[in-house]
Structure 1
Amino acid sequence: MQDLRKIFRYARPYRRDLFAAVGLIFIECIFEMVIPVLMSTLVDDGVPTHNMAVIFRQGGLMILCAVLALITGLLYARYAARFANGFAAELRMAEYAAVQKFDFANLDRFSDASLVTRMTTDVTVMLNAVNAGLRPLVRSPVMLCMGLAMACVLSPRLTIVFL
């Protein structure tokens, strides 16, 4: 755990981007969880009575929610990429500074190509882990909690089955 703290301290300058990305995931989940509720209203109220006003209204709201979820998803990708790339840049600079402090005995043990490859590969692995892991790490618990809350609103007995 201490190693992760040491590594992620290089992400501090990009905390705003991280918080923006997490907030956008949360908003995207809200839009995605509203769509089934709108669909249930459309099927329960609009289809049996052939009420076209309800069908068009609910369909329009579903399209609006889908477009807003798409927009927040794209904005999430932007902020998450900015966070991950900024974190990787800070980490790369710290690695470079650490290599510059090596004495000549250490530099003789490692070839230049080996050091460059290690630095590049290590930073790329961290960049990919942060970039690919942030979305499921945040989205999964949010979708679970919101899904249970929506199930409780629709049918409290069904929520017990889900739990």
Structure 2
Amino acid sequence: MNSLKRATQFMRPYKAMVLLGLVTTVLPVIMELMVPRLLQYVVDQGIRAQNMANIYWGAGLMFGAALLGAVATLGQGVARAQLSQGIAFDMRYLLFGHIQSLSYADLDRLQTGQLMTRISSDVDTVRMFSSAGLALLIRALLMVIGSMIMLFVTDWELASIMLVLLAVMALLLRSLLSRAQPLFAVVQQKAAALNTIVQENLAGVRVVKAYVRERFEIDRFNVGNVDYRDQNIRVGRLMALALPSLALLTNLGIVSIIWWGGTSVINDRLSVGELIAFNNYLMIGMAPLLLLSNILMMVS
């Protein structure tokens, strides 16, 4: 979670943008969580009751919630852009100043590629996280928590089944993350080594040409390039397990809802609108976990 720690430290001068970002992140979540409940109202009190007034009223509220959420999301984009660029600017300035203050011993010990990676790739990682990752992380957590609350409000028995599925998904994500973190660390090392090769070659390109060492340098770069590619492939193969596994669990949840919820509707313990709302809350709660897997990899 190094990116998270770095980002939060540099957010202090931008408290207004942070506050605006939080408000415009929470508001769309609230609006989205209202929609399934409004849909339940339209189905039960409007369609099944054959009451057009309730249908119009519910549809109008759904449109209003969607519009308010869209406006808040627009404000969130503005806040994220200003916040992320400000953080990246401050980090680049401080990092470059720190490099200038390094001792000769530190400069001999550190590779040029490592320093270039720190001031470019690492700063970009923090910028992307503060721009999109942090807002999406907060949104995903709120969506999961909010949907679970609404699931229990709708029907606690069905919600208990979903809670088990969410726990399994969380354990799966934790397992993937623990296996992926060391691989991502190696990717960063390979990237730094590749940057060092390129920088050293460009700095001494005249010497390379003078001694006709082009083929040696090409082979040297190719070795580093292959290592970097292979390590990224290893990470990609591991991450490829996340989406189908989580999608399978989500589909199992839908099947459980259809089976258990359908029986409850037939026995008049649950209304059709409640079943539809429950299914929507399930999708709202499950989808952020797919997003969380990518965000956690971003900040690891």
> Taking structure 1 as reference, are residues 47 and 129 closer, same or farther at Cα in structure 2, changes over 3 Å only?
same
Alignment of 1:58-97 (within 5 A): 58-97=58-97
Q: How far did residue 136 of structure 1 move?
A: 2.5
Partners of 1:38 and 1:58 within 8 A in 2? yes
The 1-side partners of 2:130 and 2:85 are apart by 9
Partner residue, 1:132: 132
The 2-side partners of 1:144 and 1:125 are apart by 25
Partner residue, 1:53: 53
Q: How far did residue 77 of structure 1 move?
A: 1.5
> Taking structure 1 as reference, are residues 37 and 87 closer, same or farther at Cα in structure 2, changes over 3 Å only?
same
- Relative to the length of structure 2, the TM-score reads 0.47
Amino acid at match of 1:48: R
Please identify, of 42-51 and 126-135, the stretch whose mean Cα deviation from structure 2 is larger: 126-135
- Structure number with larger C-alpha Rg: 2
The 1-side partners of 2:47 and 2:3 are apart by 58
The 2-side partners of 1:33 and 1:4 are apart by 27
Q: How far did residue 3 of structure 1 move?
A: 8.6
Partner residue, 1:11: 11
Q: How far did residue 29 of structure 1 move?
A: 0.6
Partners of 2:28 and 2:69 within 8 A in 1? yes
Q: How far did residue 154 of structure 1 move?
A: 1.6
Amino acid at match of 1:13: P
1:95-138 deviation digits (Å, cap 9, x = unpaired): 1221332467877999x999677523332222113223112210
Q: How far did residue 66 of structure 1 move?
A: 0.4
Unpaired runs of at least 5, structure 2: 164-300
> Taking structure 1 as reference, are residues 14 and 45 closer, same or farther at Cα in structure 2, changes over 3 Å only?
same
State the Cα RMSD in Å: 2.9
The 1-side partners of 2:117 and 2:158 are apart by 54
Q: How far did residue 158 of structure 1 move?
A: 2.1
Unpaired runs of at least 5, structure 1: none
Partners of 1:85 and 1:127 within 8 A in 2? yes
Partner residue, 2:41: 41
The 1-side partners of 2:138 and 2:4 are apart by 18
Structure 1 vs Structure 2: percent identity of aligned residues? Answer: 28
Q: How many residues in Structure 1 have an aligned counterpart in Structure 2?
A: 163
Partners of 1:11 and 1:90 within 8 A in 2? no
Partners of 1:31 and 1:65 within 8 A in 2? yes
2:17 matches 1:28: no
The 2-side partners of 1:3 and 1:73 are apart by 24
Partners of 2:152 and 2:159 within 8 A in 1? yes
